Amino acid sequence: MYVHTFDNDNHQNQCDDMCLLNINEIDMSKFISGTNEEKKEIALLFDKTFHEYGIIRLMNTNITSELIDKSKEFFSLNLETKLKYYVNGPYYEIPGYKPTGLESVANYKGQKKASYSDSVEAFYNIFKSQSKQFNFSIDQLPELFRDVIPDYILKARQLITYVHSIVDMALELDENTFDKNYTNDNAIFSLRLTKYLPTKNEEQLAFGEHQDFLGFTLIQNDNVPGLEVNVNRTWFRVESKPDTLLLVGGEFIER
């Protein structure tokens, strides 16, 4: 999976014609409050889609774009202000603001796949999934994130719990099997807010080719073109669609 920032409409149109991936969609409201028959149909579609593509689109998730709006406000601040939330240390172990030039995600396994750093800046946070509690101080967050990030975390955790219920049904497991063994109160979650910047040359990607390592990843790609996924060694463009989330399976899920 990688993100490419398109520099011109011609490049965008070529990809529209050649490599658009039509992603199956699941209406989460029908799984949450639907009939048993509707839930079974969703589980079958989920199982089929993940075996074929490893990605699916979720609708009616109860997660709004408010966090995206606040992220735009944060990234529009001057660099000096944003650097107040930067802490030097291992990229994926230390929360906070991440300026450009620090990351090359294509090299995440120690493989030298990319010679350029990713053209992104990010705000990164890690936390334990403790129902309605958080293992970090709200005061450590930028003020404009202090209400919206905790709300997003709780809703995302609940959504992943529903996803695990779909997995249980798809794999014909006992109820709560996946959630009990994978998303307990000591489970670690990460939240990454990213601004993609124009690339300096045609060879550079805004965010390099990579595969997430552990479980499921939720991606909110409202109005951001350029996301591509690799299906059977062929790259396909993923259309952005407002008010939906993309669900991607990591290496742990693939196994």
Q: Which of 74-78, 107-111, 237-241 has the highest mean pLDDT?
A: 74-78
Per-domain residue ranges for the chain?
2-254
Q: How many CB atoms lie within 10 A of CB 76?
A: 9
Give the right CATH number for 2-254 from 1.10.10.10, 1.10.510.10, 3.10.129.10, 2.60.120.330. Answer: 2.60.120.330
- Which residue has better confidence, 226 or 88? 88
Compute the distance between CA of residue 155 and CA of residue 149 in angstroms, rounded to an integer.
10
pLDDT digit string, tens, across residues 111-128: 665 567 788 899 999 887
Provide the H-helix boundaries in 92-242.
148-170, 177-182
pTM more than 0.85: no
Sheet bearing 55-59, strands edge to edge: 25-27, 55-59, 244-249, 216-219
- 54: which 2 tokens? 């490893």
Sheet bearing 2-3, strands edge to edge: 2-3, 227-231, 234-238, 20-21
Please state the three-class secondary structure of 20-36 as a single string.
Answer: EECCCEEEHHHHHHCCH
